[in-house]
Amino acid sequence: MNQQGNPGSPHTPPAMDRPVVDRAGFGAPNDSLWADNLRALPDLPAENSPPGSCDVAIIGGGLTGLWTAYYLSQLDPRLTISVFEANRVAHGASGRAGGWVMGALDGQAHLMSRLDPALRPTAARIVADSVAEVGRVVSVEDIACGFHHGGLVRIAARHPRQVKTLQAYAAAIAQEGGQDETVEILDPARTAAIAAVRRPLGAVTYPHCATVDPARLTHGLARIVIRRGVRLHQGCRVIRIEPGRIETNQGTISCRIVVPAVEAYAGTLSSTRERIIPIYSHIIATAPLTPVMLASLGLRNREAFSDCSAISTYGQITEDGRVVFGGLSDLPFGGRLDRYTPADFARRHRFLHRVLVDLFPQLTDAPITHAWSGVLGIPRFFRPAIVRDAMRGLVWGGGYVGRGLAASNLFGRTIADLVLERTTELTRMPWVVPDGAVDKGFRRWEPEPLRWIATRALLTPAVALECTLMSRTLPKCARTLIAAGLAALPTLKR
Ligand SMILES: Cc1cc2nc3c(=O)[nH]c(=O)nc-3n(C[C@H](O)[C@H](O)[C@H](O)COP(=O)(O)OP(=O)(O)OC[C@H]3O[C@@H](n4cnc5c(N)ncnc54)[C@H](O)[C@@H]3O)c2cc1C
């Protein structure tokens, strides 16, 4: 149980009323449910001091860095590979995520449009198959991380406005495959048969999605790569990247190739700064539910789920029967992760709880044992990329927005190929930008306050819309009018 934990009886008030959680700042601890689960596992073997040199220096002990190490060490066991992690493995988003392992990229339809139409189905298959590849490695390497391939159900579940979002989502997944197929929207009766939500208006199912405890996946992967000879240096922060070497808080290391895998923490390195910015996402988790309570939710296949709300929610039911529910993105001014106080986080967690209970009123009295936050990496074009800079010996991937758990596997495989200068099906994909064209993948963001104002303008209507629709005091006609106005504004979707 973490410091916000509250095991209590079913009538215990949610833990969010207490001073909450970790601030997800660079040095702040990870106090998620997943981090609690990690405490039961033995520590990873410690390296004493960084080496004087290595062939490949990977910066970041999250999934991108570790998947890269995994495939690189498999493809060329003679390589000397070091992973430098400023904190501990799974400190970042990989140890805090909602746990959807989803075979889709943010901005996928746009990425597909860059490809020859004949190649689009292959590219879509490569993305979708990354879920099965994660499942294969988890099984072969025996990583106990609760991997469960139950598919995804997106539901217009609380108010009629959400049907429009559902239709847009169905159109997007039809295009993501590069083909204009029709994706079926289930009628209310079939929706209700899948999930016992408050107002089942329609749903779309998507098979390429699994759920996982992301921290145990990250930790398990670290253990495997260490066993293969990869050196892991926790508590070793990279301060500067220069051609042929990196400077860390524990000394300088010469290396042939550097792979920055720092995602939302891009601001810590001058090579990546301003190209990916951090946006908070917030999560709450219930205590394990009784079998009767679990059965009352539907979701019999433990599908990942989302209501189609403008605050981009995501949920899963864990192996031990908890509901984990996240959403509500926001950008701290200047990308400063230490700006929010515990009260700021608590407000956001309470708001999420209201949405969860509006979605599943059955959960009104379910105790909330964990509430945490983490940062997603947002690139200027809102779609991920892999960039190479052969002159400077850099290969860099990320910018997943909110879909990094499966994508990091795909990108890890691709980065491994690029490091070894192999031309493969993966290196020809449209998210790999030509050598040196860093701006094509990760254009610099506009300076503050412009980006804060722009993202606020996108995020505020989403929250206002939710508040209006959940209001118990506004008359129905006022709610409908205000909601219609707010829904017409663009919002930031995950
Ligand atoms: C709250 C939340 C919910 C999410 N939910 C989902 C989800 O359900 N499904 C999904 O697909 N995606 C989700 N995501 C996104 C996903 O978690 C990320 O895209 C993915 O984990 C990124 O992995 P990464 O290895 O690139 O980055 P990270 O996991 O953030 O790892 C980067 C690591 O680099 C380290 N580091 C940073 N700077 C330095 C430095 N200078 N020197 C050394 N080390 C450094 C950090 O400490 C960190 O451990 C979520 C993210 C958040 C925050």
At 203-230, the pLDDT tens digits run 999 999 999 999 999 999 999 999 999 9
Distance linking the first and last C-alpha atoms of the chain = 29
Distance from Cα 381 to the centre of ligand 1, integer Å: 18
* Amino acid present at 110: H
For a ligand 1 pocket test, name from 31, 85, 131 the mutation site with the most ligand atoms within 8 angstroms of its C-beta.
85
Distance in angstroms (rounded) separating the CA atoms of residues 393 and 311: 39
Q: Residue 289 pLDDT more than 90?
A: yes
For a ligand 1 pocket test, name from 32, 58, 63 the mutation site with the most ligand atoms within 8 angstroms of its C-beta.
63
Closest atom of ligand 1 to 95 CA is 29
Which residue owns the Cα nearest ligand 1 atom 4? 97
Instruction: Give yes or no for a cis peptide into 449 (omega within 30° of 0).
Output: yes
Token couple for 213: 């405890």
pLDDT in the model for residue 161: 82
For a ligand 1 pocket test, name from 26, 206, 376 the mutation site with the most ligand atoms within 8 angstroms of its C-beta.
376
Which residue owns the Cα nearest ligand 1 atom 3? 97
Token couple for 488: 């017409």
Distance in angstroms (rounded) separating the CA atoms of residues 62 and 92: 7
Closest atom of ligand 1 to 404 CA is 19
* Amino acid present at 396: W
Q: How is the chain split among helix, strand and coil, in percent rounded to 5?
A: 35, 20, 40
What pTM, to 2 d.p., does this model score?
0.93
Q: Which of 35, 44, 49 lies closest to 5 in space, CA to CA? A: 35
pLDDT in the model for residue 478: 78
CA-based angle 113:309:114, to the nearest 5? 5
Distance from Cα 298 to the centre of ligand 1, integer Å: 31
Closest atom of ligand 1 to 314 CA is 8
Distance from Cα 475 to the centre of ligand 1, integer Å: 42
Residues with C-beta less than 6 Å from any ligand 1 atom? 59-65, 84-87, 91-94, 96-100, 102, 237-238, 261-265, 268-269, 281, 283, 314, 326, 374-376, 398, 400, 402-405, 408
Mean pLDDT, rounded, for 456-469: 82
CA-based angle 2:3:4, to the nearest 5? 95
Q: Which residues pair with 327 in a beta bridge?
A: 282
Q: Residue 334 pLDDT more than 90?
A: no
Q: Residue 481 pLDDT more than 90?
A: no
pLDDT in tens, 107-156: 998 899 889 988 999 999 999 999 999 999 999 999 999 999 999 999 99
Q: Residue 19 pLDDT more than 80?
A: no
pLDDT in the model for residue 1: 32
According to DSSP, the β-strands at 100-102 and 209-211 are antiparallel
* Amino acid present at 41: L
